[in-house]
Amino acid sequence: MSAAPIEVRKLSAGYGPTRVLEDVSFSLPAGARLAVLGRNGMGKTTLLASLAGQTRRLDGAIHLNGEDITGMATAARAHKGLGYVPQARWVFPTLTVEENLFVGLKGRPRSALAEAYRMFPRLGERRSHLGARLSGGEQQMLSTARSILGRPTVLLLDEPLEGLAPIICEELMAAFVTLARSGDMTIILVEQRIRSALDFADHVIILERGRIAWMGTPDEVARESQVIERYLGIGGLH
């Protein structure tokens, strides 16, 4: 039996002396789509940053494809197959779209750029545009495409829909579903648009003060109104 793409064991982490995550454990099979939900300030972004190696680990371990990556730097984790698209939509503003994408190839032939253009046709239309000239949605597509060109086995997405127009959100979510289905890529999504996150996911974790307060499926979340109200602060999903 092959190892789980990602397994988190009793992870506690934070920034400096501040402990944000406490005793977080979960594992996911290949191709799984996990939505990490919770109100603001509950540790969702910190969880992704910790998986990417950008926080101070206080306890626990992280395994990627069966290998312990707990002590690895962010770049080494990326080399091992962990893709991370942070909330900041980080792109090189003075490079063209194609030049930005080229950075993500990690030694693959330039012809592989076609994968990004098939996934996000808008980028193909704007391949000669500078990163700084793109809209927020296009920058999100570019940041995501650059990450997937490295063929990660696990992709972390931190609030990719924030501030974007509905039509762009639909394009992005469709692309994420395609990624998960087509190549056994495991995706962990942090997203404030709860309905979009639940439509995407097949697994759900809800964080409360840095701990996993609830774990289940999207259907179970939708059925349990007390979970929605207690941990997400809304009256229901309609």
DSSP three-state, residue 77: helix
Phi, psi of 219, rounded to the nearest 5 degrees: -65, -40
Taking only the tens place, the pLDDT of each residue in 79-96 is: 999 999 988 778 999 999
Please give the Cα distance from 133 to 65 (Å, whole number).
38
Please give the Cα distance from 118 to 214 (Å, whole number).
37
Record the pTM: 0.91
Res 237 pLDDT > 60 = no
Please give the Cα distance from 157 to 27 (Å, whole number).
17
Q: Which residue has the higher pLDDT, 14 or 150?
A: 14
* Bridge partners for 208 per DSSP: 211
Taking only the tens place, the pLDDT of each residue in 168-201 is: 888 888 888 888 887 678 999 999 888 899 999 9
105 pLDDT band (50/70/90 cuts)? confident
Q: Which domains does the chain have, with CATH numbers?
A: 30-53+73-232 (3.40.50.300)
- Mean per-residue pLDDT, 95-110: 91
The tokens for 236 are: 């229901």
What pLDDT shows up at residue 150? Answer: 86
Mean pLDDT across the chain: 91
Taking only the tens place, the pLDDT of each residue in 31-70 is: 899 999 999 999 999 999 999 999 999 999 999 999 999 9
